[in-house]
Amino acid sequence: MSILKLQIRVFRFDATHQYNPSYPLCIVEYLPEWRLKDVLEHIPFPDFGYDETHLGLKINQIAIFENLLVSDLVQRFSAEWVLEPLAAEYALKDLLMDESAILSQYQSFLQSAPFLSASEQSELAKYININFITPKKQAGYYGDGFFLYVGWLMNRYPTRARDFLQSIAHDKYGVMHFVSLKNYLYPPSDRLDEAIYDLQKMLTHGSACPIANNTWAHVGKNLALKYAFPPKQTPPRQQSGIFYL
């Protein structure tokens, strides 16, 4: 059996005494049944740091959140990898990021919603890594993970949907400036995109928007007037058993 090898350049950084990262090269031999975490466990550098509980990193600038088979990753990325944290600017130790520094940006939002339980507030930590899937670096942008967290809160507190939606409706930094995540994520998925598009639709569809007279509802109304497409003709439904096709 031939030896399977990965050639990996690894982002190395320690915030306690370094100012710039390095990318040393290493060779990792792996078995056909290995998964990504097996590779991380065999990186041959002392005190290599990564999040062992919540997997999240980039391979060749593409975000990975699942413990995938190495064979699948090699098929997608080849056997030459560059391993990096999701956001180098928040690197604490190698691939491990400073979660407290990321969460601190949202303290004012959490304080404005004192009715949230401690567990509901801590749920935000499960979403923030999504902020760093795309290479987008717009200063002040609230973050895709934050938008999804707000959507989660809206489902839990439908009577407060207006206030939650208002919190992400900023005309410069809000949800309307979202860029698709699909091409920066592996395996690719439309699920996150669709969830954020649903939030955008709430803002642009004035009749369905809980925020009266918001900027984006006017945009949606103007587009509807400009492009007055004829209504779609729906064919009669055919009944099959108890289901309608």
Q: Which domains does the chain have, with CATH numbers?
A: 4-97 (3.10.20.30), 99-226 (1.10.1060.20)
Candidates 77, 86, 92, 117; CA nearest to 21 is 92
As a whole number of angstroms, the distance between CA 180 and CA 130 comes to 12
Average pLDDT over residues 226-241: 39
pLDDT the model gives residue 3: 86
Among 8-17, 132-141, 154-163, which stretch is predicted with the lowest mean pLDDT?
A: 132-141
Query: pLDDT (tens digit, 9 = 90+) per residue, 197-208?
Result: 999 999 987 545
220 pLDDT more than 70: no
Would you state the pLDDT for residue 134? 92
- In the chain, % of residues over pLDDT 90: 76
Contact present, 182 and 188 (Cβ < 8 Å): yes
**Distance from C-alpha of 148 to C-alpha of 125, rounded to nearest angstrom:** 12
Question: From the centroid of its chain, how far is CA 56?
Answer: 10
The pTM score is 0.81
68-113 pLDDT, tens digit each: 999 999 999 999 999 999 999 999 999 999 999 999 999 999 999 9
